Amino acid sequence: MILKTFGWSFAVTALGLVAAVFYGGWTGFGVVAILSILEISLSFDNAVVNAGILKKMSAFWQKIFLTIGILIAVFGMRLVFPVVIVAVSAKIGPIDAVDLALSDKNRYQELVTDAHPSIAAFGGMFLLMIFLDFIFEDRDIKWLGWLERPLAKLGKVDMLSVCIALIVLMISAMTFATNAHQHGGAHVDKAQTVLISGVAGLITYMIVGGLSGYFEGKLEEEEEREHEAEEEAERTGKKKPAIVLAGQAAFFMFLYLEVLDASFSFDGVIGAFAVTNDIVLMALGLGVGAMYVRSLTVYLVRQGTLDDYVYLEHGAHYAIGALAAILLITIQYEIHEVITGSVGVILIAWSFWSSVRRNKALAAAEGKASGSDEKTEVSSGV
């Protein structure tokens, strides 16, 4: 089952790591490995969400999402989007950006390094909003209760996430951005650039969130119409047009999943800039990670086992928050990619370990409860 589900992911991983060695030596190998682990760790919650929606779809639409959808996710968001970010931030054409990345790496590195403050501000704000919206939501299951309970109460204040994000952006612009790191060790004032880029990241997050909410609303409307049609068919004895309604619902599900995939892809792509500026290594690492999103989604649909590890979503979002902070700090200071990648892995591993401990504690409690019931039954029988 594991090999059948993850076989293609294992193959792509092997090819990606070999290509990294040929392209960038063992340093390239390490960067791609870190990016792959980072992308995979951030994709756990993506896979869980995808699987929960995908279970409602027919086999045909599941296949469409897992084939066409993964092509969009890999080639669209993880290959094209990094080029667009570099092209816009460095103010050059996309073709020129690719040409520089492949033919003149030194010049490309200089452009990306000089553009890094704007990239970091844009990505830092986007990731920070994802983290804040998660941490301020009142959830039934809490991982770090001592922290999440008071934050959930504060989250009842409208627009709190946006206010905090803007405050963080202002502080970053007045501190890190006034002495931003550039190529050659130089430092310049990039306060205005950071402010504009940060606001753009915030706007992008709100647009993506709005589109996700729009498609989710459409999906709920279609499901409600289908339910009403079923009730009407039962009352009148008429045959319900199941194919048309199911097709509409599945179509909106597909659109909704694609928008969700895009929003989840932002954190991986933006976070990758905190690890490396090399577009080839970035594409290899994120491509490998995207394959595991597909495999994890398929595994969840077929088995549903990762749903038991309830803290994984928390760990992924804490990793996103850590990446946001790291990106903003790197406007002025350089942080080694090993540190950046390790933070996410440690948080995911910690949340997984906490989930395992929770499951064992629940199993033990159920065992004691069942044992007490058996003794009660024996006593009453005597």
Establish if 382 belongs to a structural domain.
Answer: no
Instruction: Report how far apart the first and last C-alpha atoms of the chain are (Å, whole number).
Output: 49
Does the model's pTM come out above 0.85? no
Question: SS3 for 138?
Answer: coil
Does 378 fall in a domain? Answer: no
> For the CA atoms of 345, 351, 353, 356, what is the dihedral angle to 10 degrees?
-140
The two three-digit tokens of residue 48, written as one number: 């869980």
Taking only the tens of pLDDT, the chain with its 382 residues reads: 677 777 778 888 888 889 889 888 888 888 888 888 777 766 665 676 677 667 666 677 777 777 777 777 666 777 777 677 667 766 778 788 778 777 776 777 777 778 788 888 888 898 899 889 889 988 888 898 888 889 888 888 888 999 999 999 999 999 888 888 777 777 788 899 899 999 998 998 888 777 767 776 776 776 677 777 777 777 777 665 544 445 556 676 677 677 666 656 666 676 676 677 777 888 888 888 878 877 777 777 776 555 677 787 788 788 888 888 988 898 888 777 667 767 877 888 898 899 889 888 888 887 777 666 655 544 444 3
Establish if 131 belongs to a structural domain.
Answer: yes
* Distance, CA of 83 to CA of 372 (rounded, Å): 63
Give the integer Cα–Cα distance in Å for 319 and 327.
12
Please give the radius of gyration of the chain, using alpha carbons only, rounded to the nearest integer: 24
Please give the structure tokens belonging to residue 122. Answer: 């844009």
Assign 190 to helix, strand or coil. coil
Please give the pLDDT value at position 198. 92
Give the per-residue pLDDT at 164: 94
CA distance to 5, 48, 96, 355, 368, per residue, from 309 (Å)? 19, 10, 45, 5, 22
What per-residue string of b and e applies to 290-317 under the rule 16 or more CB within 10 Å gives b? bbbbbbbbbbbbeeeebeebbbbbbbbb
Is residue 376 assigned to a domain?
no
Model pLDDT, residue 305: 55
- 107: CB partners within 8 A, 6+ apart: 100
Give the whole-angstrom CA distance, residue 271 versus residue 293.
17
Six-digit token string for 39 = 């992308």
Strands 187-188 and 180-181: antiparallel
Residue 145 lies in a domain: yes
Cα torsion 312, 313, 317, 323: sign? positive
Q: How many CB atoms lie within 10 A of CB 380?
A: 7
User: In which residue are the tokens 């405050």 written?
Assistant: 167
Q: Is the separation of the CB atoms in 194 and 146 below 8 Å?
A: no
DSSP one-letter code for 181: E
Show the domain range for 169.
Answer: 2-371
- Supply 152's token pair: 């959930």
CA 287/CA 281 separation, integer angstroms: 10
Q: What is the DSSP letter of 336?
A: -
156: phi then psi, degrees, rounded to nearest 5: -70, -15
For residue 378, the model assigns a pLDDT of 45
Confirm whether 381 is domain-assigned. Answer: no
Whose structure tokens read 């027919």? 58
Give how many domains the chain has, as a whole number.
1
Length of the chain: 382
- Residue 373: count other Cβ atoms within 10 Å of its Cβ: 10
The number of beta carbons lying within 10 Å of the beta carbon of residue 177 is 27
Q: Is residue 105 part of a domain?
A: yes
Within-domain flag for 141: yes
128 CB-near residues (< 8 Å, 6+ apart): 165, 168, 321, 324, 325
Please report the pLDDT score of residue 167 as a whole number.
95
